[in-house]
Structure 1
Amino acid sequence: MEHETTIFGIRAVIEAIKSGENIDKIFLQKGLRGDLSTELEQLLHKERLNFSYVPVEKLNRLTTKNHQGVVAQIAPISFYPLEELVTNVLESGKTPLFLLLDQISDVRNFGAIIRTAECTGVSGIIIQKKGGAPVNGDTIKTSAGAIFKIPISKVDHIKDAVFYMQASGIKVVAATEKTDQNLYDVSFTEPCAIIMGSEGKGINPSILKIVDETAKLPILGDIESLNVSVACGAFLYEVVRQRL
């Protein structure tokens, strides 16, 4: 089903970028050629926008119109600058609880995480500009509208957010099975940020090296890991338990 924030056509997408539209993700047809497509690709790299190369069948599913090999999705929300988001939370007087998502790629997981984050009082969500799930109609539906109630910030790299959090006096905890520390042995009563990793690769090893603490959920069955949205819920509700 075509979403109202979908735009298509090479020139239309170029003009949307130049006019400052809040573009979330762009899909380019593999093997696209021509001066206009070259101009578009150069603009995408210059503006560091989130894009991917896909087969024409994918574009045909996104829109039934003459897309010319390009479809873009305009985010239905406005993203907050990281500095503004953190400052606003710190000045609010509430104990900060941020959620950093390291390239969560499944829209349904993303939406479910946003819904749980809103229910557990998360102060804001930080995502990476490239590699993550788009903010589209499916995200809105899965989040049950929670995406309109919680501020979201985009950064060039999750590392940027980690360093900024630490410089702001916020402890950063990574949710990973690559640790001996149990979730229930970590204190979440002070200002903190939790990082959740992607469905396939988890948290980038370079990020694990710079966090303040790592923690894992105890797994009692034979399957070695949980769905990321379920694991995120367990982490967030442990924060709620400790802070109540």
Structure 2
Amino acid sequence: MISIENVSVHIGNKTVLNAINLDIKPGQVTALLGPNGAGKSTLLKSLCQEVSLSSGMISVLGKPLAQWDRSQLAKSLAVLPQHASLTFPFKVHEVVQMGLYPLTISQHQGHELVDEQLKKVALSALKHRSYPTLSGGEKQRVQLARVLTQLAQAQRSPILLLDEPTSALDLAQQHRVLELAQSLAHDHNYCVVVVLHDLNQACRYADRLVVLEQGEVVSDGEPHRALTADIIEKVWHYTPTLVIDPKSKLPLIF
């Protein structure tokens, strides 16, 4: 699905990513973890061509990313940024309709699709609200509905990139958004890549954890293998209390 081969990114004299090699598959949630400045968001931005590679190559669906037609790629890959600035007084449904741009469907089908995605993020009641009047968390969920609309006509497994999607959400909405991401991966074969800071949420909702430190992958695998007490202490410089949930068998970190 996504092949990252020997990718490095330099900004000025600083190496932000150094020789990253990853193959990311559909049907699972892959979480990018690490302290501030580890390279998580830069790696995500490299997947949507927001930053230029200094070396290496990224391929999507077997084709080098740089060779994709932008309108065709938009049907297969969408990104939810950490912050989406939009100050014009669009209605909520009009913002979600922006995701219809790459699609070839009728106006009626477009309206139905927008309603469907708003329902997924529990915002149907705010359909006609002015977007700038929403809370930060509501705006984030509207933007999520927009990118899900964008991916509705993907011919193969859609790729959904999420950059700290829970940062503006309250506790219940954090879990609902991550449950949705997990459902899209497991039930609809999405390839979901998400940047997270909460290690417990990453363990609960991600199938695979990729831990970055100073632009390099230092741990990669299932939660119970990728996040050991030694890894946490080495990367975050924090000595955790780590226990295994007897029900889920997943690590709980305190």
TM-score (norm 1): 0.26
TM-score (norm 2): 0.25
**Higher relative contact order at CA 8 Å, sep ≥6: structure 1 or structure 2?**
2
